[in-house]
Amino acid sequence: MAKILIVDDDANICELLRLYLEKEGLATVIAGDGELAIKAFREEAPDLILLDIMLPLLDGWQVCREIRKTARTPIIMLTAKGEVFDKVLGLELGADDYVTKPFDAKEVVARIKAVLRRAGAVGQEAPVVKEVHFDRLSVNLTNYELRLGGKKVDAPPKELELLYHLASNPNRVYTRNQLLDEVWGFDYYGDSRTIDVHVKRLREKLEGVSDKWSLQTVWSVGYKFATTEG
Residue-wise pLDDT for 123-137, tens only, equals 444 445 688 999 999
Which comes out higher in pLDDT, residue 154 or 89? 154
- Tens of pLDDT, residue by residue over 196-211, are 889 999 999 999 999 9
Query: For position 81, what pLDDT does the model report?
Result: 62
Least confident of 40-54, 109-123, 141-155, 199-213: 109-123
pLDDT at 65 over 80: yes
Buried-state track 204-225, b at ≥16 Cβ within 10 A, e below 16: eebeebbeebebbeeeeebbbb
Which pLDDT score is estimated for 114?
Answer: 83
Residue 14 has pLDDT above 60, yes or no: yes
Residue 49, beta-bridge partner list? 5, 75
Q: What integer is the mean pLDDT of 216-224?
A: 93
Strand 145-148 relative to strand 137-140: parallel, antiparallel, unpaired?
A: antiparallel
Domain with CATH 3.40.50.2300 in the chain: 3-119
Q: Which residues pair with residue 75 across a beta bridge?
A: 49
Pairing outcome for strands 75-79 and 97-100: parallel
Alpha-carbon distance 96 to 103, whole Å?
17
Mean pLDDT of 115-124: 66
| Region(s) of the chain under CATH 1.10.10.10 | 131-227
* CA–CA gap between residue 223 and residue 40 (Å, rounded): 40
CATH classification number, 131-227, choose in 3.40.250.10, 3.40.50.300, 1.10.10.10, 1.10.760.10: 1.10.10.10
Q: Is domain 3-119 annotated with CATH 1.10.1270.20?
A: no
DSSP state of 24: T
